[in-house]
Amino acid sequence: MATNALAAYNAALELTMLNAIQSASRPFAIFMKYGFKRLLPGLLILSGVQVGSALAAGFGDPFNTDALAPPRPALYGPAVQGAAPCATPQSAAPLALLEVVDLALCNNPQTREVWANARAQAAQVGVAEAAYLPGLSGSVSASRNWTDTAGRSSPYDQNSAGLTLSYLLYDFGARDATLENARQLLAAAAATQDSTVQAVFLAAVQAFYQAQASVTALVAAQESERASKESFNAAEARYKVGASTPADKLQAQTAWSQATLNRITAEGALKNAQGALANVIGQDAHRPPSLVPAAEVTPGEAFERDVNALVDEARRLRPDLLAAEAQVRAAAANLDAVRAAGRPSIALTAASNRLDVESSPVTHASSLGVTLSIPFFSGFAPTYRVRAAEAQVDARGAQRDLLRLQVALDVWNAYQNLHTSTQALRTSADLLNSASQSGQVALGRYKAGVGSILDVLNAQSALASARLQRVQAALNWNVSRATLAQSMGSLDYSLLQTLPGVASTEGLSKP
């Protein structure tokens, strides 16, 4: 049944081709008419080669390069017992900091891009390892030929098929250097992924606390607006009974209007912060998530570790510096590969060919040998390739040294910012407490008729400023802690456990 199907396919294919060339020239028509049947087996053989290639591709990952690639960026999974990586939330419940960071790592296009780049570089390691295996290629040809003798055309067919096996035995380290280059580039890609993950991690932390701070700032603005309205009502009441001047009422009304304007500005800032948060976690800005309420911030002991030790630790852990180191090693391996490319190579070759010429005996030819290739002269191109590779090594080294200096600066700035924000957070609590009491006393004195409206307005203005400074100090402290960890290359799940706004991992959604 299979033979009949193949015959029917051949007949249909020949008929289609003949109909397509009815208007063609006579020699080509003759070839298609009489030589197509001889050419068809060759086409089928080529199809078989394609099928063989597809089967070879079916091995998938024979060098197990998937194990070399870094895992998908995610906060949950191995880091959190019982939690699934990149699990889709099953409800619209408010998000805690852990969930915001996990969504950012899973959905942000930046993390997906660097993960794809790392997997692509892992595949390049497989390409380099494939050079250690022999190569097998086949060739098939079929032709229709004519010879003219005394004005008479004599056609004849010629078919040939062959297999060639080649195996590179020795190349003075070119393959080893190419493989080492691919491995170092993979290490650089993995470190770059880690660096991008930490950058997105920090951006998610900043966006989370900025959104929470914006909510708190809006509440503070609403409270200031309420207090300004109360002062206006008190001034208006005293004005109606003749106990105050119109100036007191107008000043109180001005302060109330200013407080209302501040509240409107705070509402706009909240919308912007929510949109930025949605963008970080890979969602549309006009669909921001809801967050858990902001927790009270209580700074612990100051970070008293030696800055020198922090810099040394950062230079050991920073993923971008590790990537730069890997780039230097990759450039050195590439230099070795370029140098080896100008040296001789030894290869084993084996071939088998079959030639079938019409009216002649079928001939078979086989060969087995060793080939020594010696590049004597290539127009000085190898010399300049080596010079370019040497310069690339120097350039990569300079980039690494520049980054080492930047690491020290990042750690120093982050350390000082954390120290400053810790002191500011403690002082802002005292400022808010004293400003709140002063506002209450000033308003009480004014209602009792023994104080002026200016005292009330000044006290309320100071209280509003103290509320905002408290909000900003809490935001700066939360972000400064995460920034210091990121500058040291240690921003991870364990740090989030010590930050406010982190919910328990129990009850997380699982697939």
For residue 411, what is the domain's CATH number? 1.20.1600.10
Number of domains in the chain: 2
Q: Which SS3 state, helix, strand or coil, does residue 372 take?
A: strand
Select the highest-mean-pLDDT range: 108-112, 171-175, 326-330, 441-445.
326-330
Q: Answer whether residue 171 is part of any domain.
A: no
Q: Answer whether residue 195 is part of any domain.
A: yes
The answer to whether residues 125 and 1 belong to one domain is no
Q: Answer whether residue 426 is part of any domain.
A: yes
Query: Alpha-carbon distance 111 to 400, whole Å?
Result: 23
Q: What is the pLDDT of residues 318-367, one digit of tens each?
A: 999 999 999 999 999 999 999 998 889 999 999 999 888 877 888 888 98
Give yes or no for residue 3 having a pLDDT over 50. Answer: no
32-41, 49-58, 103-112, 481-490: the lowest-pLDDT one? 32-41
Name the β-bridge partners of 164: 137, 351
Q: What is the pLDDT of residues 366-390, one digit of tens each?
A: 989 998 998 888 889 989 999 999 9
Give yes or no for residue 40 having a pLDDT over 70. Answer: no
- Domain of 47, in residue numbers: 1-67
Name the β-bridge partners of 241: none
Give yes or no for residue 49 having a pLDDT over 50. Answer: no
Query: What integer is the mean pLDDT of 150-155?
Result: 76
pLDDT band at 204 (very low <50, low <70, confident <90, very high): very high
Q: Which SS3 state, helix, strand or coil, does residue 109 take?
A: helix
* The predicted structure's pLDDT at residue 11: 46
Determine how many CB atoms are found less than 10 A away from the CB of residue 425.
22
CB 407 within 8 A of CB 399: no
Q: Answer whether residue 166 is part of any domain.
A: no
The answer to whether residues 105 and 247 belong to one domain is yes
The answer to whether residues 7 and 83 belong to one domain is no
Give yes or no for residue 25 having a pLDDT over 50. Answer: no
Query: What integer is the mean pLDDT of 408-414?
Result: 94
* The predicted structure's pLDDT at residue 415: 92
Q: Answer whether residue 368 is part of any domain.
A: no
> Helix axis angle, 453-487 relative to 246-280, nearest 10°?
20
* The predicted structure's pLDDT at residue 19: 42
Q: Answer whether residue 240 is part of any domain.
A: yes
Alpha-helical regions (H) of 241-354: 246-280, 307-317, 319-341
Q: What is the pLDDT of residues 389-401, one digit of tens each?
A: 999 999 999 999 9
Q: Which amino acid is at 29?
A: A
Query: What integer is the mean pLDDT of 75-103?
Result: 70
The answer to whether residues 322 and 199 belong to one domain is yes
Q: What share of the chain in percent tops pLDDT 70? A: 81
Tell which of 67, 92, 108 closes a domain.
67
The answer to whether residues 1 and 40 belong to one domain is yes
* The predicted structure's pLDDT at residue 13: 36
Average pLDDT, the chain: 82
What DSSP string describes 40-88? HHHHHHHHHHHHHHHHHHTT--TT-GGGTSPPPP-SSSTTSTT--TTPP
The answer to whether residues 51 and 80 belong to one domain is no
The answer to whether residues 106 and 1 belong to one domain is no
Tell which of 67, 85, 108 closes a domain.
67
The answer to whether residues 388 and 489 belong to one domain is yes
Query: Alpha-carbon distance 44 to 35, whole Å?
Result: 15
CB 285 within 8 A of CB 278: yes
User: What does the angle CA 253 – CA 256 – CA 260 come to, to the nearest 5 degrees?
Assistant: 140
Q: Answer whether residue 344 is part of any domain.
A: no
Residue linked to tokens 């997105």 = 200
Length of the chain: 511
The answer to whether residues 19 and 126 belong to one domain is no
Q: Which SS3 state, helix, strand or coil, does residue 64 take?
A: coil
The answer to whether residues 120 and 4 belong to one domain is no
* The predicted structure's pLDDT at residue 152: 76
The answer to whether residues 1 and 125 belong to one domain is no
The answer to whether residues 31 and 62 belong to one domain is yes
CB 195 within 8 A of CB 320: yes
Q: Answer whether residue 146 is part of any domain.
A: no
Tell which of 67, 94, 112 closes a domain.
67
CA-based radius of gyration for the chain: 38
Q: Which of 86, 89, 88 is nearest to 72 (CA)?
A: 86
Q: What is the largest CA-CA distance in the chain?
A: 136
